[in-house]
A and B are shown apart, each in its own frame.
Chain A
Amino acid sequence: MWLCNSSIGRKVVMSVTGLALVLFLTFHACMNVVALFSAEAYNQICELLGSNWYALAATAGLGALVVIHILYAFILTIQNRNARGSNRYDKTDKPEKVEWASQNMLALGVIIVLGLALHLFNFWYNMMFAEIVGASNPIGPTEGFEWIKETFANPVFVVLYVIWLCALWFHLTHGIWSGMQTLGWSGHIWFNRWKCISQIWATIVVAMFLIVALAFALCPDCLGGADGKVVPFEMAM
């Protein structure tokens, strides 16, 4: 199977899974921004993406994409280390056009996975998973907005999320154009276009995540529009 056995095939798998995850991140960021304007609309989205069969199927698919992307990242890294050999250069002078992110994709990826674990625990585990397993006191879909407020009231989480999002930005600025290059959709003209698109896309997506996290941390009571002043989470409990 060429997707497993050839170097280009393995990179194609990385590209396809990576670009699919970029699309998911874009959707997720758009969904988050809704919380800035309407608590009710955000909670409706949470309800739509609760423990329904289609949401569960999408979650499983998403999980598979993440696992394949991470697995192939480690396989490629091990193979590349072997190809480099055991001897290291005494002196290296990195050329200017070599971007820092391109040389540190695995390290950035590890930070992203750690952030993802925290994020899944904070939200997915306490909401969708608790609902699936029938936990005694799950955070209901209609409490999504208040749960964000609760989470980002903790400054430690805010700092961790900012670090996570910075790593994500670097990862995406290289990942998007590199994915298109690996799929062969690049060349003398499209290379610069993809580089530009990657920068803009990564910046917009990460900015949307960052704005929501910082807004909830700095001014939680200003958010959610007219319906943002819903019953505080502790009282609802």
Chain B
Amino acid sequence: MAEKVLKQFTVKYWKQNGPKDTNAHFEEKVMKDIPGDTSFLEMLDILNEQLIEEGKEPFVFDHDCREGICGMCSLYINGTPHGKTERGATTCQLYMRKFNEGDVITIEPWRSAGFPVIKDCMVDRTAFDKIIQAGGYTTVRTGAPQDANAILIPKADADEAMDCASCIGCGACVAACKNGSAMLFVSSKVSQLALLPQGRVEAARRAKAMVAKMDELGFGNCTNTRACEAVCPKCETIANIARLNREFIKAKLAD
């Protein structure tokens, strides 16, 4: 089967110099003859090569592994975080065959007070690191590696903890939420430990510390719109948010 080639389409991309730039605006570039099997980020590489050849400043965007596992790519494409990818995929796993001839592709940064723009579509997601630093770990001394059957964990719990741990902290949940809430991220990181016996020991302290840090950093209140789970590239669900609520309320009532 012949490969799909996009003969012409327009990329409308956001230009911004830092978080306080009052002159932030969109710029447009017509792209030609891009093969459908080109990844979205490769298309942006081609765009940047052309901009450099024209003597213009390249478009800045975050990326790293380009395998969908690092969580660095953070583009809001045509009104959706990571674009209309297959369920469970990030921007780097979006291919140009998903677009049509003559499309205008709008690219914006994650827009949230918690993620200030560094430049263009690159945003500062240090806030997520700070939330993890507040309690997203275990301090229990686990000693040397144990036998696999030393601590018995139900398979369902281990699977669920693994699903929660698959959150890559990309921030799509915050970007999609009309409240700028980081609850899906925080709840996934609380759940991945709270579901396991090693993590349960500090579950109460962890839930309180991470929620306090999330609030301190200015993320919004969750109103259960489910926009976060609809766009999550790792398919995290709001069942995690219910678990975090449970952990937090129990911890506060026990104080």
Give the dominant DSSP class at A's interface.
helix
Name the one of A82, A89, A93, A98 contacting B226, with C-beta atoms under 8 angstroms: A98
Known: A90-B106, A191-B238. Contact between A85 and B112, CB under 8 A? yes
Interface contact B246-A184, CB-CB below 8 Å: yes
* A103 close to B (CB within 8 Å): yes
* A102 close to B (CB within 8 Å): yes
* B178 close to A (CB within 8 Å): yes
Most interface-central of B218, B237, B239 (chain A CB within 10 A): B239
Could you tell me the distance between the alpha carbons of A184 and B211 in the complex, rounded to whole angstroms? 15
Name the one of A79, A85, A89, A103 contacting B76, with C-beta atoms under 8 angstroms: A89
Known: A8-B245, A83-B180, A83-B218. Contact between A91 and B78, CB under 8 A? yes
Known: A80-B179, A89-B79, A187-B243. Contact between A6 and B223, CB under 8 A? no
Could you tell me the distance between the alpha carbons of A8 and B246 in the complex, rounded to whole angstroms? 10
Chain B residues with CB under 8 Å of A105's CB are 223
Chain B 189-225, CB within 8 Å of chain A: the 1/0 string?
0000000000000000000000110110011111111
* A202 close to B (CB within 8 Å): no
CB closest residue in chain B, given A1: B252
Could you tell me the distance between the alpha carbons of A97 and B239 in the complex, rounded to whole angstroms? 15
Interface contact B238-A181, CB-CB below 8 Å: yes
Min Cβ gap A109→B in Å is: 12
Interface contact B248-A8, CB-CB below 8 Å: yes
CB closest residue in chain B, given A73: B223
CB closest residue in chain A, given B115: A85
* A186 close to B (CB within 8 Å): yes
Report the contact-size class of chain B (Cβ under 8 Å from the partner). 35 or more
* B230 close to A (CB within 8 Å): yes
Selected interface stretch from A9-17, A155-163, A208-216, A228-236: A9-17
Could you tell me the distance between the alpha carbons of A97 and B218 in the complex, rounded to whole angstroms? 26
Min Cβ gap A105→B in Å is: 7
Interface contact A184-B230, CB-CB below 8 Å: no
Known: A2-B252, A83-B219, A182-B224. Contact between A97 and B230, CB under 8 A? yes
Name the one of B108, B224, B239 contacting A89, with C-beta atoms under 8 angstroms: B108
Chain A residues with CB under 8 Å of B214's CB are 7
Interface contact A96-B106, CB-CB below 8 Å: no
Min Cβ gap B118→A in Å is: 14
CB closest residue in chain A, given B176: A95
Could you tell me the distance between the alpha carbons of A85 and B68 in the complex, rounded to whole angstroms? 28
Chain A residues with CB under 8 Å of B238's CB are 181, 186, 191
Min Cβ gap B146→A in Å is: 29
Most interface-central of B26, B247, B248 (chain A CB within 10 A): B248
Chain B residues with CB under 8 Å of A94's CB are 227
Chain B residues with CB under 8 Å of A9's CB are 252
Interface, chain A (partner B; CB < 8 A):
2, 5-12, 76, 79-80, 82-85, 87-99, 102-103, 105, 174, 177-178, 181-188, 191
Interface, chain B (partner A; CB < 8 A):
24, 26, 76, 78-80, 84, 106, 108, 111-114, 176, 178-181, 183, 211-212, 214-215, 218-227, 229-231, 237-239, 241-250, 252
Return the 7 tightest CB-CB contacts between A and B, nearest first: A184-B246, A83-B220, A93-B79, A95-B230, A83-B180, A80-B179, A186-B242
6 contacts between A and B (CB under 8 A): A83-B181, A89-B76, A93-B84, A102-B226, A184-B245, A185-B246
